[in-house]
């Protein structure tokens, strides 16, 4: 799964990397991004592509009651996303790339001992995850969710799921509104083991209120 991440690349740079118009304008580095906050996303637009800020946690359009607003979906299983009512329309019409510099996972050795690991691209480039977005009229908010798949060998050492990471040559297909369904389903696969790198980081990141660069400190520096 993917429930915590970081982004330090400025939006102007992300727009350049993904050949998108920067409609986000958020340059502050964030080292402990959690659901319910804004994340960077790339999606098709009339001008080609745009980089926007979306609320992380998909709120279905039929949710109108403020008391049910916590009903948000951070991750969606890629194996069934094209079938489930909550995701089917988004999968067909509102695909996006959710962009981070890396994400965190925790190795749960006991109820009280959770060791955090960070995952990022081995080539140092921003990480593009397959996502879908939606608009909830009742709350006037655009939201998104990250698609997940079975973990590759690297990620499986800590968790049995991982986000669907799309290589540059596949991102164009994912964002193509006319792409056929079978081709999109074929994209829902684990990344090759050499695409990502990982290392254990300080438990400082365990507290979501901690937002500093210390979240990326390797355990050797503790």
Read off the pLDDT of residues 161-185 as tens digits, 9 standing for 90 and up: 999 999 999 999 999 999 999 999 9
Q: Structurally, how many domains does the chain consist of?
A: 1
98 falls within a domain: yes
What CATH number is attached to the domain comprising 114? 3.90.1680.10
Residue 222 is predicted with a pLDDT of: 44
Q: Can you name the residues that pair with 22 across neighbouring β-strands?
A: 51
Residue 61 has pLDDT above 90, yes or no: no
Instruction: Confirm whether 222 is domain-assigned.
Output: no
Any domain includes 149: yes
**Does residue 180 form part of some domain?**
yes
* pTM of the predicted model as reported, rounded to 2 decimal places: 0.94
In a domain, residue 17? The reply is: yes
Report whether pLDDT(68) > 80: no
Domain extent, residue 183, equals 5-217
Report yes or no on 44 lying in a domain: yes
């Amino acid at each position: 799964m993917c429930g915590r991440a970081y982004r330090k690349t400025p939006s102007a740079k992300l727009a350049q990397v993904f050949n998108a118009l920067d409609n986000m304008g958020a340059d502050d580095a964030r080292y402990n991004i959690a659901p319910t906050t804004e994340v960077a996303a790339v999606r098709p637009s009339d001008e080609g592509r745009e980089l926007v800020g979306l609320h992380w946690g998909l709120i279905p359009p039929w949710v109108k009651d403020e008391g049910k607003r916590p009903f948000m979906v951070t991750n969606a299983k890629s194996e069934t996303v094209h079938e489930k009512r909550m995701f089917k329309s988004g999968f067909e019409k509102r695909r996006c790339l959710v962009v981070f510099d890396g994400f965190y996972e925790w190795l749960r050795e006991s109820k009280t001992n959770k060791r955090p690991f960070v995952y990022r691209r081995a080539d140092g480039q921003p990480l593009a995850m397959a996502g879908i977005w939606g608009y909830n009229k009742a709350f006037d908010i655009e939201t998104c969710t990250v698609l997940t798949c079975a973990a590759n060998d690297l990620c499986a050492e800590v968790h049995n799921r991982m986000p669907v990471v799309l290589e540059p040559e596949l991102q164009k297909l994912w964002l193509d509104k006319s792409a056929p369904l079978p081709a999109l389903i074929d994209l829902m696969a684990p990344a090759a083991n050499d695409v990502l790198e990982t290392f254990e980081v300080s438990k400082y990141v365990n507290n979501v209120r901690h937002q500093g660069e210390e979240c990326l400190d390797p355990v050797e520096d503790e």
